[in-house]
Amino acid sequence: MYKPHLTAAEMSDESEIKPDSSSDLPVDAFLLLDENLNLLNINDVGQKLFDVSAEAALGKCIMDVMPNIKKSAIYNQYRHILKTGEPLVIHQKLGDRSLAVQVFKLGDGLGIIVSDITERKRAEEALKLASAYNRSLIEASLDPLVTFGADGKITNVNATTEAETGYTRERLIGTDFCDYFTEPEKARAGYQQVFRDGKVFDYALDLRHRNGHVTSVLYNASVYRDEAGRVIGVFAAARGITERKRAEEALKESEKHYSALVKNLTDAVLIFKGRVITWCNDKVEEIYGYPKEELLGKRARFFYPNDINPSEFTRILSSALKERGLFNGTTRFQRKNGSIVDIEYSLLQISGKAPIEIIAVARDITERKLVEREGERLLAELVEKTKELEQIIYVTSHDLRSPLVNIQGFTRELDESFKQVYEIFDSKAVPSAVKKKLAPLLDEDIPHALQYILASSSKMNSLLSGLLRLSRLGRAALKIKRLGMNKLMAEVVASFEFQVKESGVKIRVEELPPCYGDETQINQVFSNLLDNALKFLDPDRPGMIRISGKAEKGRVTYCVEDNGIGIADKDREQIFEIFRRLDPDAGIGEGLGLTIVRKILDRHSGKVWVESEPGKGSRFFVSLQTKGGINDKK
Ligand code: ADP
């Protein structure tokens, strides 16, 4: 920072006149010596510099005034100047200050001017440092850098230039820049262009190593000037040798990876330029059944099966590629040998500029399709067989009922007839010996047999009507609509009013979300569940039933919860089987209710399951859709 010259007032201040490394002295110190080197005069700056007052110093020998100097050397130098009259500049340190001491003959004695050159020294040091820094930057550059003069002679080079040419710096400096290229004339034209235009960009030359190796480089060069703006040389940098080499190597490496990848891929890869196939991997031959040479050059249309409308397909394809850059699909292709291959493919647009470039990756999915088709066939067969079975169940249960009705009718008739026979048998007209003989038959065997026939046929009748109901259920058309479940459940509960009152069971119905289904069948589901909940309560505690529901993710789940006898884990699935009752001796139900529930929910794409703890109670869950479009699974 610039400091103004010291004022007289400041100079009188003792503390200010001490040498201070932070400020340069404004003017030079001046001292006058006589021929014996005694001080005749010293100016203010001198007094400040050497920290003496004129009164104390005048008349004293200079060696005593100037501290810290190598007295004998100085003394001899001063004597020499006195004798010869040759002036001398001596550089000297005073504390951390740098002084330039000019000593010259003045009259008989000596004049001494002491200049404080601390700042100048510092600037010089900084300059030295800066140029060392620049130099190391230049040296650190991986590109060859060269400077040369107007005559084309190299003035400086960096280490990369030494490495690229194979010559040392000493050998290169002073030689012609053009000599190190395969085409010296082209190099000369280049540097002449720099001198003419001030610069060149990407000037291509081939640099020759002393061992003969040639490297292609691109030169960027510009002139540099002295302070007066005169061109003194050219600074030239060969761009990208190292970088390009590295990039080339990286590219080679990645190409190696990709080609290995593409080669070993189990998928076929094809590249289309415009609509024409320009490249493909070996796998293409295997999948498409054509030799590569025959496929290259073919148009995309070659790969369309006959049943595809080409213009329609192109429209779908191009809009998908425009929107997402990707298109996936499956297709069939007829190989050269006539066999058909199922193909799954992805098309990826790699360049949207005309001609559009597309990579196609194709996979043979014939096996998978076969399995899928077989699955579909089996499913269709299963549906057909189920229908057939339901038909048989329907027909047999229906047709078996008429002979059964006959059996029941004639059994009753037989019973009536037997009663008459018994009356006759009971009369006095029958001899007691005969009575004794017939008694076991008429008292026990015949009435027992008749009772068994009647009970069994009535059981058979109820089983057959159960079967008939079940098969009708599968055949009835569904009328799916939105169901307000609060109303539906109120109707269901009301239909059990009598049992509820009788048993004193408490039923709590919470707010229920709506669902989609066939009203009659969904009513049947909850009637069956509520019927069971009431039937299987624990007689030892007051019965409680709670009906709730919650909607989540497009579905709604209802729950019918009771505090009844519960169901053991091992029975949880079995209770849904047809005619399955856990306690057949209890004589309640037909074991059909839950089978009907599951069948209805199957047709509604719904689900039913149970959670239970024996002795505590059961929770039956029913899950249904909250949206229409139920897929009726017959
Ligand atoms: P049913 O028509 O005889 O009730 P289901 O198919 O409805 O036949 O039920 C089958 C069996 O599952 C019942 O006999 C019973 O043993 C058991 N079960 C059904 N619901 C419950 C329940 N809420 N608590 C305990 N057991 C039950």
pLDDT the model gives residue 542: 94
pLDDT the model gives residue 22: 38
Would you say the CB of residue 562 lies under 6 angstroms from ligand 1?
A: yes
- Share above pLDDT 70 across residues of the chain, in percent, rounded to a whole number: 91
Position in ligand 1 atom list of the atom nearest CA 588: 3
Tokens of 622: 């029913």
- Which three-class secondary structure state does DSSP give residue 106? strand
- Which three-class secondary structure state does DSSP give residue 206? strand
pLDDT the model gives residue 28: 83
- According to the 3-state scheme, what is the secondary structure of 533-584? HHHCCCCCCCCEEEEEEEEECCEEEEEEEECCCCCCHHHCCHHHCCCCCCCH
pLDDT the model gives residue 245: 65
The per-residue pLDDT for range 111-154, each reduced to its tens digit, is: 888 888 888 888 777 777 666 666 666 766 778 889 888 888 99
Q: How many angstroms does the Cα of residue 544 sit away from the middle of ligand 1?
A: 17
- According to the 3-state scheme, what is the secondary structure of 435-485? HHHHHHHHHHHHHHHHHHHHHHHHHHHHHHHHHHHHHHHHHCCCCEEEECH
Distance (Å, whole) CA 140 – CA 158? 8
The per-residue pLDDT for range 548-559, each reduced to its tens digit, is: 999 988 899 999
The per-residue pLDDT for range 45-104, each reduced to its tens digit, is: 888 888 888 888 888 888 777 766 556 677 788 888 888 988 888 887 777 778 888 888
Would you say the CB of residue 51 lies under 6 angstroms from ligand 1?
A: no
- Considering only 94-103, 296-305, 576-585, 619-628, which range has the smallest mean pLDDT? 94-103
Shortest CA distance to 316 belongs to which of 297, 329, 332? 329
Q: How many angstroms does the Cα of residue 569 sit away from the middle of ligand 1?
A: 14
Would you say the CB of residue 593 lies under 6 angstroms from ligand 1?
A: yes
Contact residues for 44 (Cβ-Cβ < 8 A; gap 6+): 11
- The residue whose CB lies within 8 Å of the most ligand 1 atoms, and thus the one to mutate among 465, 499, 535, 618, is 535
Would you say the CB of residue 536 lies under 6 angstroms from ligand 1?
A: yes
Distance (Å, whole) CA 595 – CA 583? 16
Would you say the CB of residue 583 lies under 6 angstroms from ligand 1?
A: yes
Distance (Å, whole) CA 516 – CA 466? 26
> β-strands 109-116, 97-106: how paired?
antiparallel
Would you say the CB of residue 527 lies under 6 angstroms from ligand 1?
A: no
Q: How many angstroms does the Cα of residue 581 sit away from the middle of ligand 1?
A: 6
Would you say the CB of residue 590 lies under 6 angstroms from ligand 1?
A: yes
Residue nearest to atom 8 of ligand 1 (CA): 591
Give yes or no for residue 198 having a pLDDT over 90.
no
